[in-house]
Amino acid sequence: MNELLNVVVLKRVLQGDDVVVIDLARADRGNLPTFEAGAHIDVHLPSSLIRQYSLCGDPADAGIYRLGVLKDPQSRGGSASVHQELHEGVQVNISLPRNHFPLDLSAERSILIGGGIGITPMLAMAYALEAKGKAFEMHYCARSRSRSAFLEELERSKFSHVVHLHFDDEPESKMDLKRVLSGGQETAHIYTCGPKGFMEWAISNALELGYPDAHIHREYFQADVDTDGVSFEVVAARSGKKVTVTAGQTIHQALAEVGIAIEISCEQGVCGTCLCDVLEGEPDHRDVYLTADEKADNDTILVCCSRSKSSRLVLDI
């Protein structure tokens, strides 16, 4: 079982429009495990849900893990639970930090592009880049100034001179993405996080301008899940149990019907919690967690959303 840490909500502040900023600390105020910019933690909420949130504080601050959580009207319960239940003094369990969105500190220049609550991992990156004396710029895109969190923190930061704010209701602040991305394509790295359409806009423009795909780093908060397709058989190699996954059903759901429980969290192919090894068969990858190379290897699958191209899939479970 993965190690869990017990922490307490030390501070809670509502910022902008429905963004709660939460400081988590050890109950004894001791140091927390170090983390690298881009990392996230699993939060085991009082509602029994497990959700992933980016650490948006300064990695040099060993006493605090800071989260910024938007109350999403399309929430499947996670953000609503955070807003309703995580008040100052409440204790929760969290995982150790994990990083699927790391900085490449060898880059000559880093361009951080955050859309809405997607600014959270960019904050930790900005602190880390500033501490290392690296060249970078941050672009924070949001619907309006009044609905945006972290503005005061950015204004008083040491890197405020490289922060650019872009609001939909302030036409004069609109970002010229091609201008932002032009020049230095061979040496600059781009980091983007936010709504799926926003990220696809940033990524497609970067590719069009000649950025190598390896220089374009992305982190998805949510993704659409498509479970359409023909039925196929899944074999759990360790127990020998077999189950048919029908159209509209996930592998995880089918396995649960025959008593095989797999830890699951996001249910959208974003977090990687339900990753399983593939022994036989060809997965139909429908996640946004695995890289293109990892998908091509066809030796792992996320069972919360992906399906099978072959009639039979054997998993190492």
The CATH number of the domain where 166 resides is what? 3.40.50.80
Instruction: Give the pLDDT score at 223.
Output: 66
Sign of CA dihedral 67, 31, 263, 226: positive
**Structural contact between residues 139 and 205, judged by C-beta atoms closer than 8 angstroms:** no
Whether residues 9 and 77 fall in one domain: yes
How high does pLDDT run on average in the chain?
93
Does the residue 300 lie in any domain?
Answer: yes
Whether residues 214 and 236 fall in one domain: no
Contacts of 267 (CB under 8 A, 6+ apart): 76, 225, 304, 305
Is a pLDDT exceeding 50 seen at residue 238? yes
Does the residue 83 lie in any domain?
Answer: yes
Among candidates 187, 111, 121, 109, which has minimal Cα distance to 150? 121
Instruction: Give the pLDDT score at 196.
Output: 86
Q: Among the three residues 220, 252, 285, which one is the final residue of a domain in this structure?
A: 220
Q: Among the three residues 191, 220, 249, which one is the final residue of a domain in this structure?
A: 220
Instruction: Give the pLDDT score at 75.
Output: 67
**Structural contact between residues 101 and 121, judged by C-beta atoms closer than 8 angstroms:** yes
Whether residues 198 and 269 fall in one domain: no
Does the residue 103 lie in any domain?
Answer: no
Is a pLDDT exceeding 60 seen at residue 140? yes
Whether residues 115 and 215 fall in one domain: yes
What is the model's pTM? 0.83
> Tell me: the pLDDT tens digits for 261-281?
998 877 888 888 899 999 999
> Tell me: the pLDDT tens digits for 50-92?
888 999 999 999 999 999 999 987 766 788 999 999 999 999 9
Q: Among the three residues 220, 240, 275, which one is the final residue of a domain in this structure?
A: 220
Average pLDDT over residues 250-257: 94
| Full residue range of the structural domain in which residue 53 is found | 4-95
Q: Which of 29-38, 183-192, 286-295 shows the lowest per-residue confidence on average (mean pLDDT)?
A: 286-295
Overall number of domains in the chain: 3
Instruction: Give the pLDDT score at 273.
Output: 84
Average pLDDT over residues 155-160: 97
Does the residue 154 lie in any domain?
Answer: yes
Whether residues 155 and 205 fall in one domain: yes
Whether residues 214 and 132 fall in one domain: yes
**Structural contact between residues 63 and 32, judged by C-beta atoms closer than 8 angstroms:** yes
Whether residues 78 and 151 fall in one domain: no
Give me the DSSP letters along 236-256. ETTTTEEEEE-TT--HHHHHH
